[in-house]
Amino acid sequence: MNKTLKIVLNTLIVVASLILLICLFETISSYKYAHREVEDPAETYAGIFDYLLDNHAYGEVLEDYHFQMNQNFEGAPGYENLYRVGEYGHAAFMARVYDEKGDDVRASACRTQMQSVRGELGDYAFTADQIDEMLEKAP
């Protein structure tokens, strides 16, 4: 056999072996996902919730808050932080709406609700300041 042909065939064998090893590693790593237990949706959402807060996507947080409240009227376990931040954001938004309409009674009720929820935010207290700042800048 020609020497260059042997080099080409050996190179092809090495490349095929590398591809086979990569496929084997991918198969092994995907096996653990195929046979895992069902994940807790609240635990999965916790990462999404933190991502939304990092990106100041409070509109999506409010959307998720309203969706969860419509699905679980009493609140599902594991979503407490979402409920608190969503409740604060909703109350702040409604206070702004009532101020614009001149309804001082409802605006005052919303501010009272905001203050009570602000005390329950815990590690997420920074969100109240961010929401207030966003609403102040809104046209």
Summarised one tens digit per residue, pLDDT across range 20-62 is: 999 998 888 777 665 555 666 767 777 777 888 888 788 888 8
For residues 63 and 117, membership in a common domain is answered with yes
For residues 24 and 45, membership in a common domain is answered with no
Residue range 56-79: mean pLDDT, rounded: 77
* Ranges 40-44, 52-56, 80-84, 100-104: which has the least confidence: 40-44
Higher pLDDT, 113 or 41: 113
Residue range 61-73: mean pLDDT, rounded: 79
Any residues with CB less than 8 A from the CB of 135 and at least 6 apart, and which? 92, 93, 96
Burial class from Cβ neighbours inside 10 Å (0-12, 13-18, 19+) for residue 132 reads middle
For residues 89 and 122, membership in a common domain is answered with yes
Amino acid at 101: K
For residues 55 and 71, membership in a common domain is answered with yes
Cβ neighbour number for residue 75 with a 10 Å cutoff: 13
For residues 69 and 100, membership in a common domain is answered with yes
For residues 110 and 125, membership in a common domain is answered with yes
Nearest 5 degrees, angle CA 50-CA 42-CA 78?
95
For residues 31 and 86, membership in a common domain is answered with no
8 Å CB contact between 102 and 93: no
How many domains are there within the chain?
2
Asked if residue 75 has pLDDT above 90, the reply is no
Q: For residue 31, give its domain range.
A: 1-36
- Residue 16: predicted pLDDT: 94
User: Which of the residue ranges 27-31, 78-82, 89-93 has the most confident prediction, judged by mean pLDDT?
Assistant: 89-93
